Structure 1
């Protein structure tokens, strides 16, 4: 099976789109970073270091230091596909992040986005 083209896209090229989407809706880069930290375990320093590289999306998720077990609570539709029904692990991680950023842009409270209450 051929890899999805998105897997070889650098995370650095996608990250600004997440930030721009959030900022267009009055949210912040810090909130995007908080979501990424919650999802993957990358702290600010590690995220900044990765953004200085050309790490691809597949590697970004594969090397995540502490994938949050609560990420499996993320449900809903992204790009016409239900996140919870995606079987391929990397694509599921990508769509979970997309869903979380969508929730941020829609004004959802951070504790709800991070499934903490």
Structure 2
């Protein structure tokens, strides 16, 4: 992607002014796995224990998270606004939702 993404900006984007933030337990960043040469970040979001979302609810939460993180990065990441113009794919921040204790949050180090 080229931009430096600060985890504090991601946290503020996920939680600040997000009416669905109460569903979020934790998050982590990882590079997208794919065949192209560009690296795009994936924001993995762990849901709170016992939270189960319908497809519509999951889509709503993912979009709210995506919007908040983009807003936060646009306001605080020096290189993000320039990259948004030069490379529109920057706007495609991927949000991956995971039930509690699954995905990258599974295992002994996932929920410490």
For the criterion TM > 0.5, the same-fold answer is no
Between structure 1 and structure 2, the one with the greater Rg is 2
TM-score, length of structure 2 as denominator length? 0.28
Bigger relative contact order, structure 1 or 2 (CA pairs below 8 A, ≥6 apart): 2
Higher strand share: 2
